[in-house]
Amino acid sequence: MSEQEDNFSRLRDANFTIIGLGLMGGSLGLALKQRGIGRRVWGVNRRETVIDRAVELGAIDGGTTDAVAGVADADIVVLATPVRTIIDLLQQIGPHLKAGCLVMDLGSTKSDVMKAMMCLPAGAEPVGGHPMCGKEVAGIWAAEASLYEGAIFPLTPLERTSPAALALAETLVERIGATPVVIDARRHDRLVAAISHLPYLTAVMLVSAAAEVAAEDALVWPLAASGFRDTSRLAASDVTMMHDILVTNREHIGEMLQRYCRHLDRLIALVENGQEDELRETLGQAWQDRYSVISDQ
């Protein structure tokens, strides 16, 4: 049997436990169940009503509010909560994991999560993960089996992670329709600071600035059209998730904010000094970059 066939059957026969049944965890459960992956998919969530809903949707076979009990029999555990909760949960569940258990997470920053994964017992196989997909609507009610399809899915193993465990994680990612990219946790955190955390903060600042203007002239909101809606969309992201991201990725976000600040200072100077040629060049370069690297649907 090839390694891939072996991993296919390991996934098919594995007991999965997903901790956190929000958009990401719920969608993972749906993707596993609809593809027939896993002997059983168990769910852990603080709220009973969410577990009930996940069962109704067919995202899990059953669940519990007790993370320790939830992982007792698991071959593969996936943590799908905000980052700081993942770190707390890793401490709680560590001593109760089965030997050889693959422990993955879907957290948006990786360095602090990998530090916590280093403290897992020797028998556990840790692989960090961060699917580059999502929606601004949180919760199990927004879950979709297709959420991961087409997404880039960075994986951040530790040195101690066995090649077999990493290969299993990669196969799992491929089986739910995503593309795994193995990457160092620190490099990951710096890159997502640029293309995910900074955009979130620009959306927050845009809304804050427009709200100030709205306090003086309420017509500002009715005038806001699709351009404002798209540019500010990320400000509607889950606040707890984003707060954890900002706190656990301070260094790289600080770098990106400083970088952005230099662009802002330069732009203010170009506008105020009426430097039309330089302004046009800046706009043209951004148009070119955006056009050549990002495809809109």
Distance CA 234, CA 203 (A): 6
Give the nearest distance from C-beta 202 to a copy of itself in angstroms. Answer: 5
Which of 63, 134 has the CB closer to a copy of itself?
A: 134
Which of 99, 217 has the CB closer to a copy of itself?
A: 217
Which of 52, 212 has the CB closer to a copy of itself?
A: 212
Nearest to 12 by CA among 40, 48, 37: 37
Which of 113, 198 has the CB closer to a copy of itself?
A: 198
Which of 116, 241 has the CB closer to a copy of itself?
A: 241
The most distant pair of C-alpha atoms in the chain lies apart, rounded to whole Å, by 70
Give the nearest distance from C-beta 160 to a copy of itself in angstroms. Answer: 24
What is the DSSP code string of the chain? Answer: --HHHHHHHHHHH-EEEEE--SHHHHHHHHHHHHTT-SSEEEEE-S-HHHHHHHHHHTS-SEEES-HHHHHTT-SEEEE-S-HHHHHHHHHHHGGGPPTT-EEEE--S--HHHHHHHHTS-TT-EEEEE--S---S--SGGG--TTTTTT-EEEEEE-TTS-HHHHHHHHHHHHHTT-EEEE--HHHHHHHHIIIIIHHHHHHHHHHHHHHHHHHH-TTHHHH--HHHHHHTGGGGS-HHHHHHHHHHTHHHHHHHHHHHHHHHHHHHHHHHTT-HHHHHHHHHHHHHHHHHH----
Give the nearest distance from C-beta 151 to a copy of itself in angstroms. Answer: 7
Which of 39, 250 has the CB closer to a copy of itself?
A: 250
Give the nearest distance from C-beta 113 to a copy of itself in angstroms. Answer: 17
Give the nearest distance from C-beta 69 to a copy of itself in angstroms. Answer: 31
Give the nearest distance from C-beta 274 to a copy of itself in angstroms. Answer: 7
Give the nearest distance from C-beta 290 to a copy of itself in angstroms. Answer: 4
Give the nearest distance from C-beta 181 to a copy of itself in angstroms. Answer: 8
| Cβ proximity of 85 and 57 under 8 Å | no
Which of 2, 295 has the CB closer to a copy of itself?
A: 295
Which of 87, 234 has the CB closer to a copy of itself?
A: 234
What phi, psi does 44 have (nearest 5°)?
-120, 130
